[in-house]
Chains A and B, each alone.
Chain A
Amino acid sequence: MGHDYEAGKKTAVRIISILAIITIAEVLFALLGKGYIIPGVHFPAVIMGGVMIIMSLVKAYLIVYEFMHMKYEMPGMVRSVLLPLFLLVWGIIAFLYEGTAWKGNRQKVIEKNERSVETLTQPSAETYHADDSH
């Protein structure tokens, strides 16, 4: 038990150090990719997003498996907690797709409004305001 305790202390220090390093890396990468560290350097949004998401998932894994001791639980318990979370994969795909569709539909409405204003024989300036967005 005494040996376990000393090993546990060491593991805690190791994990918190890794979490701190990943956090610093995330912030530095965010600033680097947007040209704050080296002026003019810009990374594509897909690379920025991908790297950030992977680093966050590594942090989440370390917190759940090491700090919350998921590593030492029974496999059945681990599955009963973690498997339901995979429903979120579909949730993320579906709702991001939905959000993009809303933008497309709004754009379509704006374009149709513009076209109908142009084709009206007597266009009325009062009924149409191009800039009512905020």
Chain B
Amino acid sequence: MADTLTQTNSPMTEGSWDGASRPFKASYGKLMMWYFLLSDAFTFAGFLIAYGALRMSSPTWPVPDFVFSTVPEWLPGSAHHKPLIFVTIMTFILLASSFTMVRAVQEGQQENKNGVVFWMVLTIIGGAAFLGCQAWEWNTLINEEHVSYHTNPFGTHTEYGKYLEGDGHDIEAGDTFQPGDSYLIHNVDGHWHKLKYEVTEGEDAGMTKEMSFGPKAFSALFFFITGFHGFHVFSGVVFLLIICINAASGLYVARKNEYEMVEKIGLYWHFVDLVWVFVFLVFYLL
């Protein structure tokens, strides 16, 4: 808080070039963290806008509540067709870790060393749990659904039709579908099972066709953007760990600056949460 800022016990004299003066009454470190976050916001915005442009340029796009509908088997209920539930859990974990970070900063302003360490440890656990969930999600997509950055088996129908064969999972021969319905092309032992279907309406009525892959930009963008965000979370956890150890060792007690380092990593950590709000919006909700 601006009103609680105190001048550090710096031996330096007041001057424009020795770091003693504080533009905007914020410390140099905090200010630079804000401008780094601004530049990082532009990086993420660039990626998300690229997602938007490629999505608009594609005639079809995979439906998120069909793609992201798997949950781990140990969770109650069946393992499939629980749209958006798992990613909601991930979002809650990250939100909770943002809350514990706020508490760590508040304890720092009270110069309460044990409080800072306690809440930072909880934040680190939250960050690690989020990364674990993301690893599970990636593993499901890559190893079970065989999505890769160059192949996207999640497609969307553009015609009315009737399946001529079943896939042994959800689709049986004779099932009908309409434009906008989603499908997943299963891969068994390296072979893609593209089901054959008969078009029932429109100018191609009566023709036999087979499933085609969905836009590959979808999977490339998904792995790149969530990967880039996950990398931010990972580096955040590493920095939190370092600062937590420093705090526990009493390093910041000696500085008498209300644990400003904790406040700076807090800004970064909240930013990671903020980016997730928009990744969640763009990939899972829209």
Main secondary structure of the interface of B (DSSP, over half): helix
Residues in A whose Cβ lies below 8 Å from that of B3 = 72
Count chain A CB atoms within 10 A of each CB in B59, B91, B212, B271 and give the residue with the most.
B91
Structural contact, A106 and B57, CB atoms closer than 8 A: yes
Is B222 among interface residues, defined by CB-CB distance under 8 A?
Answer: no
Structural contact, A98 and B53, CB atoms closer than 8 A: yes
Main secondary structure of the interface of A (DSSP, over half): helix
Is B254 among interface residues, defined by CB-CB distance under 8 A?
Answer: no
Those of B42-60 within 8 Å (CB) of chain A? 42, 45-46, 49-50, 52-59
Measured CA separation A8–B115 after assembly (Å): 15
Residues in B whose Cβ lies below 8 Å from that of A120 = none
Residues in B whose Cβ lies below 8 Å from that of A99 = 52-57
Residues in B whose Cβ lies below 8 Å from that of A56 = 277-278, 280-281, 285
Is A116 among interface residues, defined by CB-CB distance under 8 A?
Answer: no
Interface size class of B (residues with CB under 8 A): 35 or more
Contact with A along B208-225 (1 / 0, CB 8 A): 010011001000000000
Is B99 among interface residues, defined by CB-CB distance under 8 A?
Answer: yes
Residues in B whose Cβ lies below 8 Å from that of A84 = 38, 42
Measured CA separation A16–B23 after assembly (Å): 31
Measured CA separation A15–B106 after assembly (Å): 15
Is B1 among interface residues, defined by CB-CB distance under 8 A?
Answer: yes
Is B188 among interface residues, defined by CB-CB distance under 8 A?
Answer: no
Given the contacts A60-B277, A63-B270, A26 and B109 also touching, CB distance less than 8 Å: no
The residues of B with any CB-CB pair to A shorter than 8 Å are 1-4, 23-26, 31, 34-35, 37-38, 41-42, 45-46, 49-50, 52-59, 65, 83-84, 88, 91-92, 95-96, 98-99, 101-103, 106, 109-110, 209, 212-213, 216, 266-267, 270-271, 273-274, 277-278, 280-281, 284-286
CB<8 Å pairs between A and B, sample of 8: A67-B101, A77-B34, A80-B24, A81-B35, A92-B52, A95-B53, A107-B59, A134-B213
